Amino acid sequence: MRRGLLNTLGLIVLGVIVLGTGPARAETIANGPYYATPSWDQTLPSSTRFIVLSNMSSAAVLDRETGLVWEKSPDTTVRNWQVAQFHCNERTVGNRKGWRLPTIQELASLVDPTQSNLALPPGHPFQNVQSIFPYWSATTSPLPSTGAGFAWYVYFADGAVDLLDRTSLIYVWCVRGGQGVDPQ
């Protein structure tokens, strides 16, 4: 009886040791667990919503509301929509590939409509976000058009969301994770 109990206890301890080990967690500037299960219905203050990821050379920011990882400092070169797609697909940020152009819903999720001049939440960690021109999304217009067609954009000067001819030259802000390209 005692031997059976010791064998069972030994298996439990072995199971805890084997099953308890897992992949290493990413390091961040913030202390403690930083990755809450993303839920688009939650509203977090900037101080806990955005986490600069030190394991990505502090060049990327996790948005805990959406689970998306954004470039901390988007490029300040204007591009047409097709070149913007290529730019994100080829991008390396924080020694990581896998970047893409965000959908309109993902890009618009960064907008704080209570802010003016730069419609991002107060205390955000982003740098070089421009308010002169809008930013491309991967979402194209379902409306029939001629030429290159239209795609949705976000204008961070006031948080506006609208359509623009894809040959226009505007900014691009790359993202990792999420649902992927143009679900429309």
Each residue of 76-120: pLDDT tens digit?
Answer: 999 999 999 999 999 999 999 999 999 999 999 999 999 988 999
Label residue 43 by pLDDT band (50, 70, 90): confident
Query: Read out DSSP for the chain?
Result: -HHHHHHHHHHHHHHHHHHH--PPPPP-SSSS---PPP-TT----HHHHEEE-GGGTT-EEEETTT--EEESS-----B-HHHHHHHHHH--BTTB---BPPPHHHHHTT--TT-SSS-S-TT----S--SSS-EEEEEEPSS--STT-EEEEEETTTTEEEEEETTS-BB---EESSS-S---
Which CATH class name applies to 43-176?
Answer: alpha beta
Each residue of 173-182: pLDDT tens digit?
Answer: 999 998 765 5
Q: Global pTM?
A: 0.77
Mean pLDDT of 148-173: 94
Nearest to 139 by CA among 106, 92, 182, 93: 182
Mean pLDDT of 138-159: 84
Yes or no: say if 71 and 63 are a contact pair by the CB < 8 Å rule.
no
Domain boundaries in the chain? Answer: 43-176
Least confident of 32-41, 96-105, 133-142, 159-168: 32-41
Yes or no: say if 21 and 44 are a contact pair by the CB < 8 Å rule.
no
pLDDT at 109: 95
Yes or no: say if 104 and 142 are a contact pair by the CB < 8 Å rule.
no
